[in-house]
Structure 1
Amino acid sequence: MSNIEKRIAFFLPNLNGGGAEKSIVNLVKEFSKRNFYIDLVLVSAQGPYISQIPNNVRIIDLNTSHVILALPKLVKYLASNKPDALISSLNHANVVAIMAKLILNSKTKIIVREDSIPSQERRNSKSIKSKVLPLLMHVFYPYADFVIAVSKGVKEDLVSYVRLKPGRIKVIFNPVLDLEIFDRAKENVDYKWFNDNNYLPIIISVGRLTEPKDFGTLLKAFALVRKQIDARLVILGEGEERKNLETLTKELGVSDYVWMPGFVDNPYKYMSRADVFVLSSLYEGLSMVLIEALALGVPVISTDCKSGPREVLENGKYGKLVPVHDVNALSTAIMEVLTNPKSFEIDKDVLEKYKSEKIFEEYLKLI
C-alpha cells in the first residue's frame, strides 16, 4: 500500500501548549509532507497549537469534556474511518485509545507514546487519576501494537514502576528540530529588554505554568541572583500556577524584573537572544525546550531531575546540572554562567538524533 492510500490518525486530549502536544504537532507536520491521509483526533479541538496544523490535515473534534467520555466517539471514529494506524500521546489518552481498539477488535495499529515519568507524576500529584493510571497502564499497554518511550529514562520507569516488559518498549526521541526553528529565531523581538542599549543579562525559561515545572524555585533563585547581578527573568508559558507565581514575584520583590507574557507562538526569537536558559522541573520525560536551547547555542542550566535532562546533557557535558528544588545551587549556577560566559559547540551527532525528519523515519517503520 502506498503512502497516499494510508490513513494515519493522531489522538490527543487537546492542543494546549505542552511538550506532548508539541511533539504530536511536529509529527503531524512531517507526516503531512509525505502524502498520507492525516486525521488529528482531539477530545476537544482547542489550544494554541491549532494554528500550526497544516491545511491538508483533517481535524476531528470529538467535542467532549473528558478523555474517558470520548471513548464512544473514538470507537465510532475507528469503525467509520478504519485508519491504518493511530498514534496516541499522554497516558490517559493512551489507555482510552487501547480500550477503543479492544472494544472494536480493530485492525488499526495502536502506537502509544509515553512522554512523562509515571512514578514522578504519582509522587508529585494528589489526584486520584495519578494513582489509578499506573495500574491502568499496566493492564492496557500490553495490548498496544507499540509502546514508545521518549527517552531511556522513561523506558526504565515503565519497566520498574508500571511493570511492563522491556521488550515491549521502543525508545524513540521526541521530534524536536527542523529548519523552521532557526528561521524563526531570527525574527525581530519587540520587547524592550531585548532591545535595550544598556545591556542587562536575560535569564529565560519556557514551559507550562504548572507545579511540575517548579518555577517557584527559579523565582527564588532569581531573587538571590538579583542581589549580585542586575538581571532580568523571562518565563514563557501559561498555566494554572500563574496567580501563585505572580504573588511570589511580589513577595520576593522582583516583580519589576520578571516578564511572564504567557504562551507565545514563537519562543525561539526570545531564547536565541537570552544569556542563559534554565529548566527548573521536578521531572521530565525528555525536555524538548532544553534540546531547542542547545540547538540555538544558548548556555543551559537544568535540574538533575528524572530523567530527561541528564540524558540530553550527557551527564553535564553540555550544560550545568543542579539538584531538584535547590534554590542556592540554582542561583549559584546562574551567576557562574552570567559572570563567566563561555561559548560552546555541541557535537553534531548529539542534535542529529532529535531532528523531526529522522524521528519520522522511525515511526514510519512501525506503520
Structure 2
Amino acid sequence: MTQSGKIGAVVYDLRASGVVRNLLRIAERARADGIDFEIWPLRAQGEFLGQAKDVAPVDPVLEASSSHQRDLDSFLHHSALAEALGNRSPSLLFSPGNQMHWHIAKALQMLPANARPRFVGRASNAVVSLGDANPIFRAIIKPQERFQFQAMHHVVAVSEELQGQLVNGIGFDTERVSCVPNGIDIDRYASGHGKQTENERPIILGIGRLSKQKDFNTLIDALAKLRITPKPVLRILGRGTDGWIASLKRYAENKGIADQLELLGHVDDVTAHLRQADLFVSSSRWEGASNVVLEALACGTPLVATKAPTGIAEVLRPLDEDILVPVGDASALAQAIERRLGQPRGSAALIARARDYDLSSMLADYSGLLAEQLSRAQRRCLDPYETQSARLQHS
C-alpha cells in the first residue's frame, strides 16, 4: 500500500561516498515499499548521479555544477534551498549524512514555522564538539551542532557509540534517537571468495576520499616504518583534488617511499581490489560506521584500523583487539600491520562478523522508521518534540 506524503532527501551532490551509497539503498527500498521518496541534491553532479536517477526521481536545487568547496557552496545558497523546500512542501525532510545537517537547519530557519516539514537526520559521523579537536574549535562548533540537531524531530545514529554521544553529549531525549547500523550485502561480496592470488609484493589497501578525515598521511608514515621484505605497495582508492594528490605524493617522497605509493583515484567497484589485497587499513581520524570496513570483512580481507570514533571499534573489537590502534599513532599502526601481515588470512571469521550487519535488516529498519515519521507528519500532531523545530526562529 502506498504511503501518503512525500519525502525529500537533501544531499550536497551525488559524488561517490558512503553517505550517498547508503542514501541510494534507502531510497530504493523506500520506493519499493510504496513510499514517495525523492532525492534533492543541491548540485546535480557526482559519480552516482546516473545511478540515483535509476533509483528515484532526482530534482536538484541548482542545475549548474560547481567546483567550489561544498560547505562554502552550501552556505552561499541557503536562500535557494529554503525557496526549494518551501515550494516543494515535502511532508518529511531527510538528511542522510552530516554534510548537510547544518545547512538544512539554516534553510528551515528562513521558512515560517508552520511551513517547516518534519525533519529526520542520519548522524553518520562523530559529534565533533565531543572529540579531541582543539578546545577553541570545539567551543565554536558546539552551538552549531546543537543548532542542527535541535532542528530535527528524529535522529538515526549509525552506531551505539554515536547514539550515546547524541543522548549524553548533546542532550537528546532517548525517544528521539534510533540506532540503525550500516548494512552489507554479504552474499555479493562473499560469493567470490576463494584462494587468494599470491602477490609479488604485499598489497596494503586504503580506501576513501583524500581528506584530513581519512588521515592517509599517518598510513604513509606507518608504511615508511615497516621493516619487512619485499617492500609492500600502498594502494589508495579514492577521489581527491589535485592539491591533495600532490600533497600525498610529496609526503611519500619525503618519507622515501614514493615508489611504494599508488593513487588510483575513484574506483566504481572496490571488490576486486579488496580480494587481491593482503591487508586493508582504515587510518581514519573519525568515522561513523564505515561501509568499506564492512566490505573488507565481507570479502574476507584481513584488516587493521584506528579506534576512530564512533563505530569502527564497535564492529571490529569482537574479532581481535590487536587489529585496533590509537588514532594518529603511526608506530602502533606499523606494528599492527606487520603483525597482521604475518598471520593467516582468516577469512571465515571475518565473513561471519560481516553477517551481523545484514543490509536487508538495515533497509527494513529505515523503511519502517521513515513510514512511521511520515505518518506523524501526515497526522500533523503536536507531539512533545514539535517545539524543537519551532525554536529555530529564535536561534
Instruction: Flag whether TM exceeds 0.5 (same fold).
Output: yes
Give the counterpart letter for 2:354 in structure 1. Answer: L
Give the counterpart letter for 2:240 in structure 1. Answer: G
Instruction: Structure 2: state its 5+ residue gaps.
Output: 372-395
Query: Is the alpha carbon distance of 1:56 and 1:11 closer, same or farther for their aligned partners in structure 2, counting shifts above 3 Å?
Result: same
Describe the superposition over 1:41-86 as per-residue Cα deviations: whole angstroms up to 9, x where unpaired. Answer: 1111222222322425221111286224443333343344333322
Describe the superposition over 1:183-230 as per-residue Cα deviations: whole angstroms up to 9, x where unpaired. Answer: 7x68xxxxxxx98x8632211110111112111111121122255443
Secondary structure (helix, strand or coil) at the match of 1:78 reads helix
Describe the superposition over 1:107-136 as per-residue Cα deviations: whole angstroms up to 9, x where unpaired. Answer: 7432101111123687548997x7654313
RMSD: 3.1
Of residues 167, 172, 175 in structure 2, which corresponds to 1:167?
175
Secondary structure (helix, strand or coil) at the match of 1:341 reads coil
Q: Which has the higher contact order (CA 8 A, sep 6+)?
A: 2
Query: Is the alpha carbon distance of 1:293 and 1:251 closer, same or farther for their aligned partners in structure 2, counting shifts above 3 Å?
Result: same
- Counterpart of 1:78? 85
Contact 2:105 2:151 in 1 (8 A): yes
Identity score, percent: 24
Q: Distance in 2 between matches of 1:45 and 1:253?
A: 41
Give the counterpart letter for 2:208 in structure 1. Answer: G
Q: Distance in 2 between matches of 1:127 and 1:259?
A: 37
Secondary structure (helix, strand or coil) at the match of 1:136 reads helix
Contact 1:23 1:176 in 2 (8 A): no
- Counterpart of 2:56? 57
Contact 1:62 1:73 in 2 (8 A): yes
Question: Are 2:245 and 1:242 equivalent residues in the alignment?
Answer: yes
Of residues 246, 262, 265 in structure 2, which corresponds to 1:259?
262
Secondary structure (helix, strand or coil) at the match of 1:111 reads strand
Shift of 1:262: 0.7
Question: Are 2:300 and 1:297 equivalent residues in the alignment?
Answer: yes
- Counterpart of 1:144? 152
Instruction: Structure 1: state its 5+ residue gaps.
Output: 187-193
Query: Is the alpha carbon distance of 1:56 and 1:282 closer, same or farther for their aligned partners in structure 2, counting shifts above 3 Å?
Result: closer
Contact 2:130 2:169 in 1 (8 A): no
Q: Distance in 2 between matches of 1:131 and 1:51?
A: 40
Question: Are 2:133 and 1:119 equivalent residues in the alignment?
Answer: no
Matches within 5 A, 1:1-367: 2-3=1-2, 6-63=5-62, 66-91=73-98, 93-101=100-108, 103-104=111-112, 105-106=114-115, 108-119=117-128, 123-124=132-133, 132-177=140-185, 179-181=187-189, 199-225=200-226, 227-240=228-241, 241-317=244-320, 320-346=323-349, 350-366=353-369, 367=371
Shift of 1:5: 5.1
State which drifts further: 247-256 or 344-353: 344-353
Q: Distance in 2 between matches of 1:6 and 1:179?
A: 34
Q: Distance in 2 between matches of 1:332 and 1:6?
A: 54
Secondary structure (helix, strand or coil) at the match of 1:55 reads helix
Secondary structure (helix, strand or coil) at the match of 1:213 reads coil
